Amino acid sequence: MDLIEKSKKYLWLPFTQMKDYDSDPLIIESGKGIKVKDVHGKEYFDAFSSVWLNVHGHRKKELDDAVREQLQKISHSTLLGMTNVPATELAEELVKIAPRSLSRVFYSDSGAEAVEIAVKMAYQYWQNIGEKDKQKFVSIKNGYHGDTIGAVSVGAIDIFHKVYGPLMFEGFKTAVPHVYRYPENDPEKCRDEALETLENLLKEYHKEIAGLTIESMVQGAGGMIVLPEGYLSGVRELCSKYDVLMIVDEVATGFGRTGKMFACEHEGVEPDLMAAGKGITGGYLPIAITYTTEKIYEAFYDEYTNLKTFFHGHSYTGNQLGCAAALANLKLFEKEQINQQVARKAEYLQELFEDILDLSHVGDIRQLGFMCGIELVYDKKTKEPFPFESRAAYKASLKMRELGLLTRPTGDVVVFMPPLASTEAELKEMVQIMKQAINSVTIEEALHVAATSY
Ligand SMILES: *Cc1c(COP(=O)(O)O)cnc(C)c1O
Mean pLDDT over each residue of the chain, to the nearest integer: 97
Contact yes or no for 56/282 (Cβ under 8 A):
yes
363 burial via Cβ count (<10 Å: 0-12, 13-18, 19+):
buried
Q: Taking Cα atoms as reference points, which of 96, 73, 102 lies closest to residue 85?
A: 73
pLDDT of 323 reads: 98
Task: Give me the half-sphere count of Cα atoms (radius 13 Å) on the Cβ side of residue 215.
Answer: 31
Label residue 453 by pLDDT band (50, 70, 90): low
Does position 161 have pLDDT exceeding 80, yes or no? no
CB-ligand 1 contact for 48 (6 Å cutoff): no
Distances, alpha carbon 170 to alpha carbons 111, 149, 160, 355, 379, in Å: 21, 12, 16, 44, 37
Round to whole Å and give the CA distance between 430 and 424.
10
- Ligand 1 midpoint to CA 363 (Å): 26
Contact yes or no for 284/150 (Cβ under 8 A):
no
- Ligand 1 midpoint to CA 148 (Å): 10
CB-ligand 1 contact for 177 (6 Å cutoff): no
| pLDDT tens-digit map of 333-379 | 999 999 999 999 999 999 999 999 999 999 999 999 999 999 999 99
Residue 143 CA: nearest ligand 1 atom is 13
| pLDDT tens-digit map of 130-145 | 999 999 999 999 999 9
- Ligand 1 midpoint to CA 98 (Å): 19
Residue 146 CA: nearest ligand 1 atom is 4
Does position 310 have pLDDT exceeding 70, yes or no? yes
pLDDT of 157 reads: 87
CB-ligand 1 contact for 110 (6 Å cutoff): yes
- Ligand 1 midpoint to CA 166 (Å): 22
If one counts every other C-beta atom within 10 angstroms of the C-beta of residue 118, the result is: 30
Round to whole Å and give the CA distance between 438 and 435.
5
**Spatial CB neighbours of 186, under 8 Å, sequence gap ≥ 6:** none
Look at 184 and 362; give whichever has higher pLDDT: 362
CB-ligand 1 contact for 109 (6 Å cutoff): no
CB-ligand 1 contact for 150 (6 Å cutoff): no
Label residue 27 by pLDDT band (50, 70, 90): very high
| pLDDT tens-digit map of 30-39 | 999 999 999 9
CB-ligand 1 contact for 409 (6 Å cutoff): no
Contact yes or no for 239/196 (Cβ under 8 A):
no
Choose the residue to mutate in 50, 144, 281 for probing ligand 1, maximizing ligand atoms within 8 Å of C-beta: 144
Q: Taking Cα atoms as reference points, which of 430, 343, 361, 442 lies closest to residue 396?
A: 442
Label residue 149 by pLDDT band (50, 70, 90): very high
Q: Taking Cα atoms as reference points, which of 211, 200, 219 lies closest to residue 243?
A: 211
Q: What is the 3-state secondary structure (H, E, C) of 260-303?
A: CCCHHHHHCCCCCEEEECHHHHCCCCCCEEEEECHHHHHCCCCC
Round to whole Å and give the CA distance between 65 and 338.
20
Which parts of 33-77 are beta strand (E)? 35-38, 43-46
Which parts of 86-187 are beta strand (E)? 104-108, 136-140, 172-174
- Ligand 1 midpoint to CA 17 (Å): 19
Average pLDDT, stretch 90-100?
Answer: 98
Q: Taking Cα atoms as reference points, which of 197, 134, 222 lies closest to residue 171?
A: 134
List phi, psi (to 5°) of 283.
95, 20
- Ligand 1 midpoint to CA 247 (Å): 14
CB-ligand 1 contact for 276 (6 Å cutoff): no
Label residue 160 by pLDDT band (50, 70, 90): confident
| pLDDT tens-digit map of 189-240 | 999 999 999 999 999 999 999 999 999 999 999 999 999 999 999 999 999 9
Round to whole Å and give the CA distance between 190 and 186.
6
- Amino acid identity, position 47: A
Does position 454 have pLDDT exceeding 60, yes or no? no
Q: What is the DSSP letter of 306?
A: G
CB-ligand 1 contact for 408 (6 Å cutoff): no
Round to whole Å and give the CA distance between 323 and 264.
24
| pLDDT tens-digit map of 368-414 | 999 999 999 999 999 999 999 999 999 999 999 999 999 999 999 99
* Ramachandran assignment for 50, one of left (phi > 0), alpha (psi -120 to 50 degrees), beta (any other): left
pLDDT of 239 reads: 98
Percent of the chain, pLDDT > 90?
96
* Ramachandran assignment for 24, one of left (phi > 0), alpha (psi -120 to 50 degrees), beta (any other): beta
Choose the residue to mutate in 214, 224, 278 for probing ligand 1, maximizing ligand atoms within 8 Å of C-beta: 278
- Ligand 1 midpoint to CA 450 (Å): 37
Choose the residue to mutate in 110, 157, 251 for probing ligand 1, maximizing ligand atoms within 8 Å of C-beta: 251
Nearest CA to ligand 1 atom 11: 145
Does position 171 have pLDDT exceeding 90, yes or no? yes
- Ligand 1 midpoint to CA 412 (Å): 19
